[in-house]
Structure 1
Amino acid sequence: MRFAGIDIGSRAIKLVVVDSAGKILLKRIADTGFDPMEEVKKIMNDARPDHTIATGYGRNLFELVFEAQTVTEIKAHARGALVLFPQALAVLDIGGQDSKAISLFESGKVKKFEMNDRCAAGTGKFLEIMAKNLGFAIETFGDQALGAKKDVNISSMCTVFAESEVTSLIAKGQDRREIALGLHSSVARRAVSMINRVAPEGEVVFTGGVARNSCMQSLLAKKLNRVVHVPEEPQFVGAFGAALLSSEMP
């Protein structure tokens, strides 16, 4: 049998299909776009799952349209991360719209979590906007930041005020890479505070699209001073977890 997990995020839709043993058979990703359910239909084309569980930003709409089951992102990321790194008891997920810190019991069940979903601060959207303002591609933003000799302190995490601050720094001739490093440092400090509140010890799994950012990987490992695992394709962890939960349904 084939079991699907679909993670409908604010920026991208991720699909993972596994067999009854949890082996990945298929992975797909697409932009969420203006009509998420139409994109879901495209990404699900030929996937042929026997059972599907949805998670993510658009899971409730998916449930209405397809009459399918859903799980929270917290549960999906926890399940996927635990299978990939069984020794880790904490998960930090930073996506396009929000960020989540999760601590786990050794059984894999969620012990405690904290979310930032009130504004773009500390999320992929924040970094995307700042990269554009600095003239960097989001795909290379982390590498550019790592090329700085020092960072510049960014006092505001509000996207609007941070944009103004960045514009002012550019006008003063500040090195763009140093500004980039300062922005990454501010996001990392926020993320470290979240994970330390829910899981002050132990190895951490870094998931979500922002986990592909090389500077964020480096800063988190340094500021946490503990092992930070980054899956090969961190943006798929939520969909993978949902697929595993789908395969475990009675």
Structure 2
Amino acid sequence: MISAGIDIGSRTIKLVLIEDGTVTDSATTDTGFQPMTRAREILDTSGMTPHRIMATGYGRTLFEQQMQADTVTEIKACAAGTFHLYPEVSTILDIGGQDVKVIRVGKKGRVVKFEMNDRCAAGTGKFLEIMSDNLGFQLSTFGDAALAAEKTIEVSSMCTVFAESEVTSLLAKGEEPVHIARGLHDSVVRRAASMIRRVGLDGPLCFVGGVAKNPCIRALLAETLGTEVVVPESPQTVVALGAALLADAMR
């Protein structure tokens, strides 16, 4: 019996399939301008017909209306997926395309506290994408470049619009793009670390979401928080995994 978890995010759609408690397949695609069409396509491409589908993410309500599916919040799905992978972890940082979430879990992965920033792009994947473009970097190499920087130029604004203006001003003054890049990464980590401290951190931090692939963010988090930062092999599909596990538990 196959269960599916589908995470319909603002930037990407992630699918995880589980059969008899074991992950059998996963896939990721861009959300695009027609998220429901893309969601159906990713399900069709899998070649599987799930017995039960659990949807999460920004598009979960629309998906529920158009498909036979249950829904769950991203917070609960993220906690379930992380607990499955790292039952010893009690604090999770999830930085996605449009929001930042910090989740504190208790016994059996139960959510006990969380904090979320979804009101602006500050500190999100979208913020890093815009800044990398402004500085002339590919997003895929932005983190590596920032990590290798020998100097940090502080960027004080976290608002995307104001940060763009500040970056333009710094470039006009002759500052090196790579040094500005390091400063932008520092600002993202400072914001995330502040949220983590408010939620609470005891032991290693699990870092999930697409931004968890950024090596500079990972390194700066470990340095700033003074703790181990664990990153799953596929950090962007952890929420979909949690949704699939929750669907599987309903059999």
State the TM-score, normalized to the length of structure 1.
0.98
Q: Deviation of residue 106 (structure 1)?
A: 2.5
Q: Deviation of residue 19 (structure 1)?
A: 1.2
Contact 2:53 2:68 in 1 (8 A): no
Which residue number corresponds to residue 4 of structure 1?
A: 4
Partner Cα distance (2:64, 2:177) in 1: 44
Which residue number corresponds to residue 70 of structure 2?
A: 69
What CA deviation, in whole Å up to 9, does each residue of 1:102-137 have, x standing for no partner?
001132100100000000001000000000000101
Give the aligned residue type for 1:14.
K
Q: Report the RMSD for the aligned CA atoms in angstroms.
A: 0.8
Partner Cα distance (1:141, 1:12) in 2: 19
Q: SS of 1:107's equivalent?
A: helix
Give the aligned residue type for 1:11.
R
2:137 pairs with 1:136: yes
Q: SS of 1:24's equivalent?
A: strand
Q: Deviation of residue 80 (structure 1)?
A: 0.5
Unaligned runs of 5+ residues in structure 2 are none
Partner Cα distance (1:201, 1:115) in 2: 19
Partner Cα distance (2:222, 2:230) in 1: 9
2:135 pairs with 1:125: no
Runs of 4+ in 1 over 3 A off after TM superposition: none
Which residue number corresponds to residue 192 of structure 1?
A: 193
Partner Cα distance (2:204, 2:250) in 1: 29
The count of residues paired between Structure 1 and Structure 2 equals 249
Q: SS of 1:86's equivalent?
A: coil
Give the aligned residue type for 2:33.
F
2:23 pairs with 1:24: yes
Q: SS of 2:150's equivalent?
A: coil
Q: SS of 1:152's equivalent?
A: coil
Partner Cα distance (1:2, 1:12) in 2: 23
What CA deviation, in whole Å up to 9, does each residue of 1:191-225 have, x standing for no partner?
01111111232221100000001111101111111
Give the percent of matched residue pairs that are identical in Structure 1 and Structure 2.
Answer: 57
Partner Cα distance (2:48, 2:91) in 1: 31
Q: Deviation of residue 47 (structure 1)?
A: 2.7
What CA deviation, in whole Å up to 9, does each residue of 1:138-168 have, x standing for no partner?
1111001011102111110000000000011
Partner Cα distance (1:27, 1:112) in 2: 29
Q: SS of 1:236's equivalent?
A: helix
Partner Cα distance (2:138, 2:48) in 1: 32
Give the aligned residue type for 1:205.
C
Which residue number corresponds to residue 215 of structure 2?
A: 214
Partner Cα distance (1:17, 1:79) in 2: 15
Which residue number corresponds to residue 204 of structure 1?
A: 205
Which residue number corresponds to residue 96 of structure 2?
A: 95
State the TM-score, normalized to the length of structure 2.
0.97
Contact 2:54 2:70 in 1 (8 A): yes
Which residue number corresponds to residue 38 of structure 1?
A: 37
Q: Deviation of residue 34 (structure 1)?
A: 0.3
Partner Cα distance (1:88, 1:181) in 2: 28
